[in-house]
Chain A
Amino acid sequence: MSDWLERELTRGLPPLTAPDALKIRLGLAPAPRRELPRGVLAVAAAVVMIIGGGYAAGRSSALDLRQNSARSLRFPKNVELVAFNPASPHAPGQPWPLRCDGGASASLSASSPLSIGNATVWLAHSASEPHSQALSNLDAGCHQCHSL
């Protein structure tokens, strides 16, 4: 063998240093912790808050009964709409006020679709099952009065 080859092989195949990854693979050193930059966490938190705030605001607007538009109500059973407040009896042709505050119960006529125009619809909580069923079918979008 020539001296040149001996020299090239010695230079070309020197010993190497093992990488740290080998020690980690064998469990002899802990894997390096990946730390997220603080800015990334702050941005993620801000995004979550914005999304959560937007959702909550949307829910609030749904809960604002004054924003609800009129709906055409249909009921599976015969229900009778009754004005329960003797101080302000219902005049024919006038919109039916329905309270959603646990006060007056209300029944609605199912003989024909009842359109209440732009009136605010309040759904009353009722201990009576028929009323509960009728009222549970009403959807004024208030999201509050259907757990009867």
Chain B
Amino acid sequence: MTRMVLDRTERELIGKCRLGDRDAFRALFEAHQDKIYSIALRFSGNQALAMDIAQDTFLKLFSSLSDFRGDAAFSTWVYRLVVNSCLDHKRRSWRMMPMADEVIAVLRAPGDALHALLHSEMQGRVQGAIEKLPADQRIVVVLRYTEGLSYEEIAEVLGCSLGTVASRLNRAHKVLERRLSQWKGNSYV
């Protein structure tokens, strides 16, 4: 029931956007900004690049709303747009930079920051390990662990089979296990 209500609201919103309703654009943006930005930043590891990817995604979203036929969920369509933006930017190639900002911010923070520091360090290592994965493995890892999508949903977003998703995730897990296991002893509760 909730999903039906949300779909109807989303349909109304999309309809208003197609008529050029600025408030509808803003509402659509606010409904999806965190999701799009999260994927962009987790994929690229660079805040400036993530902003570019997110901006490109929204511009494509707003400009091609008329192309959305409703044969898939709107969120699936949004995921496809951001994934394509991520891969487009990757193809133009950039230098991957680890997200050191969080670690530095914690180091500068006063008070008892030991636990936060460990947490942030491990997060930095995970992010760094993700960034070294090939793009096709990296995107499935981000969709799975940042967005919590199921294998079926990931397959629908990427337009590939369930087996392909499983295969990519399996290969990514092996690489990540190897790269991160050296810090296994530093795990925190």
- By a beta-carbon cutoff of 8 Å, the part of chain A in contact with chain B is 1-2, 4-5, 8-19, 21-23, 25-26, 28
| B152 contacts A by Cβ under 8 Å | no
B187 proximity list for chain A (CB < 8 A): 4, 8
| B17 contacts A by Cβ under 8 Å | no
| Distance between Cα atoms of A2 and B123 in the complex (Å) | 18
Instruction: Say whether chain B's binding surface is mostly helix, strand, loop, or mixed.
Output: helix
B146 proximity list for chain A (CB < 8 A): 13-15
A21 proximity list for chain B (CB < 8 A): 51
Count of A-B residue pairs with CB < 8 Å? 77
User: What is the CB-to-nearest-CB distance from B58 to chain A, in angstroms, rounded to a whole number?
Assistant: 6
| B34 contacts A by Cβ under 8 Å | yes
| Distance between Cα atoms of A22 and B176 in the complex (Å) | 31
A1 proximity list for chain B (CB < 8 A): 170, 173, 177
Query: B176's contact among A9, A14, A18, by CB below 8 Å, is which?
Result: A9
CB closest residue in chain B, given A26: B58
B68 proximity list for chain A (CB < 8 A): none
A17 proximity list for chain B (CB < 8 A): 34, 37
CB closest residue in chain B, given A17: B34
- In the complex, the answer to whether A26 meets B177 with C-beta atoms within 8 Å is no
